[in-house]
Structures are given as structure tokens and as C-alpha cells.
Structure 1
């Protein structure tokens, strides 16, 4: 048996997200907008699903996001380092312009879909493999009527989706999931136990604000 539904939920916004800095495994906390996004998205998620189990990355921004859901759902969280973000080595904390200035050839290769290695980053295939391993392990202890929520990170979710769909790690057919949004997958029937089907992507309460990344509308927060 395994969970019938899987949600891969990205953490809320951080200062690095707002500034366009590559975050990787640097432990950057949610900012005020990110905390609001986590609470708002958790409420929206619970109007559509009934989570059975919440698994979360060991990085603080993911844990704070998961806690917003766990508090409302009345569940504990399970911390699993295998669903943490991809490491970007020496590039972490830098903007794309800064990376391009310091590592022009490596950055160009990365932008073209290559695998730069000189900066010490983690390979896509490594991230995809650990994400798939973690998801399938946690899903295996559940039943078809259960919903597993995995709170993770942008690059890790994209690579996890590719891996769970049995696509190569260099497949780049989807955009990155937005902060505090999620991908929904359903367990395939009559196939190998690791096989999943994508049923929704970049789902979330995008109607909660005219600009999700700016936080709640000022008119709603400070009425006349």
C-alpha cells in the first residue's frame, strides 16, 4: 500500500527569494511575506485536501511553512533531510548577475541546461534520486485514501517531479513552482509502486492577493 495522493509544497518567501539570490542549502528564514504566504496557503490547502502525513526538509524556511499547516491540521511533522534543497556550492547567496560575472562560462552552461561542477553544486540526478527515495519511503506506509504532504524547495520539487514521473534529471519541461504553491501527483494504478502521475502544478491561493509576492493587499490589511 501507499499514499494515493502526494503534494510537493514549496516554502514561503525569504529575503533571498525577494532579492533574486540563489538560496540552495543556506538556511535562510521566511520573511514577513513568507510567513503570511505559509499561513494563507495552508488554509487554502486544507479546504481542498485532508493531509495524513507531513514530511519536511530540515531547513528552517521549510519547517516554518510546514508548521503553519501542521498547526491548522493538528498533525506533527516528520523531518527528512533528503527533501532539502539542491546545493549550489559557492554560488549560494549570489544573484544571477554576480554568478555570471565571477563564473561566466559555468553560468552560461548552467543557463543552457548544463551541469556546472566547478562551483561545488549538487548534481540534478543526485537531488532527484534522494527526493524519489524519500517520497516513496514515506508514501509506502500509507493507504490509497491518504494524502502525503512533502514541504520542500523550488529546485528539489522540480527535480522530484521529474524523478517521480520517470523522466531524466535534465528534463526541464516545467517552470519553477511559486513560493507556498504545490504540485499534486496521484499514485498510478496497476504499475510499479514508484510510479506517479502529475494531476496539478503550481497550485495555490493566488487569488489571495493582487500580487502574491508583495504580501496581503494594503486595502484589505489597512481599510479606510
Structure 2
């Protein structure tokens, strides 16, 4: 649903699991509200408010509208650059109406339309730095505060995950379509090469990378998400690095 709002802007609504999501798209600001929660983006600041508190965050870098796979949640993420280091923080999100409900499909279509308009309206902020202009989309996996963010640059994925007692998701790994994978190594990073989807598997809470002989190259911990979400993350990484599909796992 969409209609003309104040200040020559548009107002849109979409049903969600928490009630109606209202989005106001103005010439200089964007506001999202559902239940007692709201987010307003204006003048390079994101202001969050609920029934308990009000918080303003300065937008100094990138901003993403992400969709969850496979649950279709909608999330707003910003990149934080401060004394705590660089990271991504999910500042607002909603869950869709269950597809088991009679109106589930219609509600999801409405949420898709709202997400598309919201992404377009925030494009100027999302492209606030030159290095973000190659971002094709952002995907989130998991539930609640422990969602993993996958930023798709076309030729590479950059993945961010939150650690225990941290307020933001930090760089976890970068996967290039030529098989190069950058993983944490102490306080720095190191690069490995995996060119087949069969070299990428899930091992407990970790994504495991192995060479063509099955020897471990690296294990990257992705805690706090469900096993099916970890499998989906591994599947997406595998699809990006599998150059020719000719390699077969050892018996």
C-alpha cells in the first residue's frame, strides 16, 4: 500500500509479524516505524527510538538494506567507524508475516515493494563512499542480534559476524570468485585458495576450507546461527568459488 505523505514525500505500508510497517519517504529524510520502534534517517544521522530509549548514530560510511535468506526478513545495517574499530551494526529490522497465514504471500509481496523503494530512497547514503559503489546487494542470515551479513560485490563476498558481547558484526572473511579467500589470522589476515565447491564444508560451528586432497586450509568460526543458516552460507560461498565444477571429492 502506498499513498502521498507530507512534504511531497511518499508513505508506504506493509504487514509484518509485528504489525504494519510504515515507511515515510521524504525529500531529505526516511522514517520507518513498526509497533513502538522507529528509525529516522536524516542529516547523516540514524535516530532509533522505542518505548525505553532514544539513540542517535552518525552515518559516516555505508548503509545497507538487507534481506534474510530464506526467511525474507528486512534489515537496515550501517557501517561503524570509531575507536572500537570498523564493523557492521543492524539497527532496525522486521520479520514478514508467516507464509502459512492466509494473507502471507500478499504481505510478503508488499514487504518486497517497500524494500525496493526504501533501497532506492537510501541510495545516496548507501553510496556515500566510493568503495561501496560496487555493492550489488546485502544478504543476512540468522536470527535476532546474531545475524550474519553477506555483502555481495559481484566478484567477491565480504562476510561480517558478531562475536559474544560485541555491539557489531566484524569482518569474518572475504571470498573472491577466482578462489582466493581472505581469513583472519591473529591480528592480521592470510589468503588461501579454494577452487572447488567440494573444498568448502560445514564442520560444527565452522566453515571449513580444504584443498583438493582434503587437507585443511582454514576453519572460520560462525557461531550463534542455526545449522541450516551455516549450511546456506557455505552453499553460497561454494557457488562463487566453483570455477568449473570438475573437481570431485575424494572417496
If the length of structure 2 is used for normalisation, what is the TM-score? 0.26
From the two aligned structures, give the one with the greater strand fraction: 2
Q: Which has the larger radius of gyration?
A: 2
Higher helix share: 1
